[in-house]
Structure 1
Amino acid sequence: MTEPEIIEPETIREGGLIPRHLEGREITRAALLLPFSHPNASARNEAANLLQAAELALFEHGADTLILMPKDTGGTNEGARQAAQAAIDDGAEIILGPLFGAAATAAGDVARRYDVPVLAFSTDTSIAGNGVYLLSLPPEQEVARITGYVSLLGVQRFAFIGPGGAYGSAVRNALEETAALNGGSLVAEETYVGGVEAMTSAARRLSQLGFTSLQARDAMMFNSSEWVPSANAPFQAVMLPEGGTRLRTLGPLLPYYEIDPLIVRFLGTGLWNNEETRREPVLHGGWFAGPDAEAHEAFATRYQSAFGDEPSRIASHAYDAVLLAVFFANEGEVSRAALEDPEGFYGADGLFRFRADGQIERGLAVYEVRRDGFRVIDPAPRSFDPAVF
């Protein structure tokens, strides 16, 4: 007969509650602020994914040194502020989350008064800094990585075709900047707002620089040889910052208007990193930058084994956040200086480090789209160059 589980009483000490089995140990408390009761089901599901990833990291690395304290923000800025204050009152030395930008700002305003760092999951880069660090990868770094790679191959003339709005503008500006840093230039650009009609018009305008259709003999030659930048093409690489169905709509429009992927290298952002991309033949041979797939797949396998589901796209951020909290618990101190260690850390998405401005820098690989998946053509680094920021 199985003995009933004995639940040990917990002890309340100054600075927070301590489970009985952790009595007498040096303990670090980390608060996990997430919208568990958000009115939107997708937000609640994401919160659940992040919590499970955090629990996985705690189980694997820090069950005897770290207390994880989940706090519900309710999906509001005021809820985030109250959750941050409650966490600090309970002795939190580091705050993980919130998920959304405005909530992270509210939590950061509270945490800053107590010199408690915040590791937020938001993609809003404007909130980073002054004690708030972002685990999400900004598209500018993806663009810099892929632009730098193709520049080494001789690409000097770049084009952009993508959506209007904040994301498209961020990618476009990063492309122009990093092309210039590598001795190239952005020679053509088209933006659109809307669906297939707007995309079609933009692709038609982009083609008016002087592309002509390939003859069958030339196409066979290009298809059987290693790609090199064309000296005569109006541009040698084009950035398409779309994903999913929208990317599969945009991609075929370019060769329809004679911008042939055998001549012009199609480039993408992290939005390409999904199964739909490889289902579009026009995108085969295209390149994009992304985190270390080997590291992420290992995390995803362990997550699925533990919880029976695949992790969400950003669940790894919560895993890495807890991994950092465990590291600081073992070191005995949480500090901004330690967070900004220029040598960085290795987590569920590979190598990363935080800059002094609160943004993350990740070691990214370059991938080629194939029919059967994504092939690494330039691996992610295993260490960082000396910091220059």
Structure 2
Amino acid sequence: MTISVLPTCALAPIGRLARTLAVVMLAGLAVTACTASSGPQRPDVSQGVASPVVGAPPEPAVLGVEMSPERLAFTPPHMEGMELVRVGVLLPFSGSSAGLRNEAGHLLRAAELALFERGIGNIVLLPKDTEGTARGAEAAAEAAIADGADLIIGPLLAAEVRAASGPARRAGIPVISFSTDTSVAGDGVYLLSFPPEEEVRRVVSYTASLGASRYAIVAPATPYGQLVSEAYREAAAATGGTVTAEEIYSGGVDSMGQAARRLARSGIQRLEVGTALAMTGENWTPSDGGAFQVVMLPVGGDDLRMLAPSLLFADIDPLVVKFVGTGLWRNPDSAREPALAHGWFAGPDAGQRGRFEEAYMTAFGEQASRLAGLGYDAASLAVLMASAGRVERTVIEDANGFLGVDGLFRLRSDGTVERGLALYTIRGGQFEVLDPAPVRFQPDFLTDEGES
């Protein structure tokens, strides 16, 4: 049974830990920005109300220090005698770009918000500055371990995660990072992020359920394009389909047009005028003819608004071929592009996200960044472990998953994340849910060996 605590944007455990967490959370969750309550109001974080959080974000962030022969188990004076869970928060507070520094602040504030909403008094956050570099991340991990960290949240960048994972693994401390690079996951390092592979699998699975089996892709010559192409081929094969055409472009609209024309030469189906007039794009079904029934466009912004019309100019008809994409499509300008009408893409549950953003705005007086919810969910996992009385990988890898800011997710034993995503369509210049996000994971995802 799922216990929903989402009126306060909280992460909810699903399954065997639900009863434990519910008792601990109720006091903190009764007062929220999302529901009216006659009880005490949420502390105003900006006014410095006492909280379980230790460390000022983002200055002065605690820099890396040399490892001590013994873990010092840092304890604030007012927490002496308490059984504490110490959580290192490794983020690029002094990163080279303003974007990195800004994101670090959002992630830490969201983590603080998770603790404030729950009223948990036995968790200490230990912010450490990675400086946005591998060397800084390794030093930050060592500093957190020296301070007695039981769990590490962060870092943000793949190179940072790779560097921080060494000290963490040697100390046996789990790491919940925010990278999307699966090469740094595993052996106690988890990726709480939005990997494009999950979005690709969702949209391919849905089109396959309608009978599609032949897929095409037009991707940019970038690491992201390569990643999506590989995931697309794997997802198609997993459903019994195949990628029959793949075009890569490098450059602007001319290169896109050339790629579209090459794709069209692989074989397209043209509709008779009468048939075309009877179709709207909403009643799409996979066609019997043509080399491909679905085409993936893994770009966003201006690139997407140039690429999609290029396919139309090459006579690739969206009434016959379903245009699909990744979360990069979720941009108001994309919704207004006529060539993308009735196109599909996968993304997190927007309804859950809205409740978190309202709470964040109330607490901090600013809009949360897109990644801020990851900080909230990571801190909520720390609360879950503290309430369960153990910081263990078995808790993190609960096969039932958790209900977080962006909907359902679970962390696999290999460190990767699986997300329950919704499928969106573009209709009338707006994003609409075509197929809702699941409310629970299927129990049969385990193999005989117990691995996903």
What TM-score range do you get, normalising by the shorter chain? over 0.9
2:75 to 10, 13, 17: 17
Q: What does residue 150 of structure 1 align with?
A: 207
Q: Is the CA contact (8 Å cut-off) linking 1:65 and 1:330 kept in structure 2? A: no
* 2:369 aligned with 1:321: no
The CA deviation at 1:274 is 2.4
Q: What does residue 3 of structure 2 align with?
A: none
In structure 2, give the amino acid aligned to 1:325: A
Q: What does residue 380 of structure 1 align with?
A: 437
Computed over aligned residues only, the root mean square deviation of the Cα atoms, in angstroms, reads 2.3
Q: What does residue 121 of structure 1 align with?
A: 178
The CA deviation at 1:18 is 2.5
Instruction: Tell me, in whole angstroms, the C-alpha distance in 1 between the residues paired with 2:102 and 2:284.
Output: 43
* 2:130 aligned with 1:76: no
CA shift in 2, pair 1:128/1:206, >3 Å:
same
Deviations 1:204-252 (A, max 9, x none): 1111134366555433211276221121233111000001111111111
Deviations 1:293-323 (A, max 9, x none): 2111211222222223222221111111101
2:233 to 176, 179, 204: 176
Q: What does residue 394 of structure 2 align with?
A: 337
TM-score when normalising by structure 1: 0.93
Instruction: Tell me, in whole angstroms, the C-alpha distance in 1 between the residues paired with 2:184 and 2:281.
Output: 48
1:351 to 408, 418, 433: 408
Q: What does residue 260 of structure 2 align with?
A: 203
The CA deviation at 1:66 is 1.3
Q: What does residue 250 of structure 1 align with?
A: 307
CA shift in 2, pair 1:62/1:268, >3 Å:
farther
Q: What does residue 190 of structure 1 align with?
A: 247
Instruction: Tell me, in whole angstroms, the C-alpha distance in 1 between the residues paired with 2:163 and 2:383.
Output: 25
Instruction: Tell me, in whole angstroms, the C-alpha distance in 2 between the residues paired with 1:286 and 1:372.
Output: 11
* 2:306 aligned with 1:260: no
Q: Which SS does the other structure have where 1:17 is aligned?
A: coil
CA shift in 2, pair 1:116/1:251, >3 Å:
same
In structure 2, give the amino acid aligned to 1:385: Q
Q: Is the CA contact (8 Å cut-off) linking 2:341 and 2:429 kept in structure 1? A: no
In structure 1, give the amino acid aligned to 2:170: R
Instruction: Tell me, in whole angstroms, the C-alpha distance in 1 between the residues paired with 2:336 and 2:365.
Output: 26
Instruction: Tell me, in whole angstroms, the C-alpha distance in 1 between the residues paired with 2:132 and 2:290.
Output: 50
In structure 1, give the amino acid aligned to 2:384: F
Of Structure 1 and Structure 2, which has the larger fraction of its residues in strand?
Answer: 1
CA shift in 2, pair 1:199/1:363, >3 Å:
same
Instruction: Tell me, in whole angstroms, the C-alpha distance in 1 between the residues paired with 2:282 and 2:402.
Output: 39
Larger displacement relative to structure 2 (375-384 or 235-244): 375-384
In structure 2, give the amino acid aligned to 1:165: T
Q: Structure 2: any 5+ residue segments left out of the alignment?
A: 1-47, 55-70, 447-451
Identity among equivalent positions (%) equals 51
The CA deviation at 1:354 is 0.9
Q: Is the CA contact (8 Å cut-off) linking 2:329 and 2:345 kept in structure 1? A: yes
The CA deviation at 1:357 is 0.9
Q: Which SS does the other structure have where 1:233 is aligned?
A: coil
Q: What does residue 216 of structure 2 align with?
A: 159
Instruction: Tell me, in whole angstroms, the C-alpha distance in 2 between the residues paired with 1:50 and 1:83.
Output: 16
Q: Is the CA contact (8 Å cut-off) linking 2:336 and 2:430 kept in structure 1? A: no
CA shift in 2, pair 1:81/1:140, >3 Å:
same
1:301 to 349, 358, 369: 358
Instruction: Tell me, in whole angstroms, the C-alpha distance in 2 between the residues paired with 1:215 and 1:309.
Output: 53
2:87 to 1, 24, 30: 30
Deviations 1:245-299 (A, max 9, x none): 1111111111111111111110111111222220212112011111122111211
The CA deviation at 1:19 is 4.9
Q: Is the CA contact (8 Å cut-off) linking 2:408 and 2:440 kept in structure 1? A: yes
Q: Which SS does the other structure have where 1:222 is aligned?
A: coil
Matches within 5 A, 1:84-163: 84-163=141-220
Q: What does residue 296 of structure 2 align with?
A: 239
TM-score when normalising by structure 2: 0.80
Deviations 1:325-362 (A, max 9, x none): 11111111111111111111111111111111111111
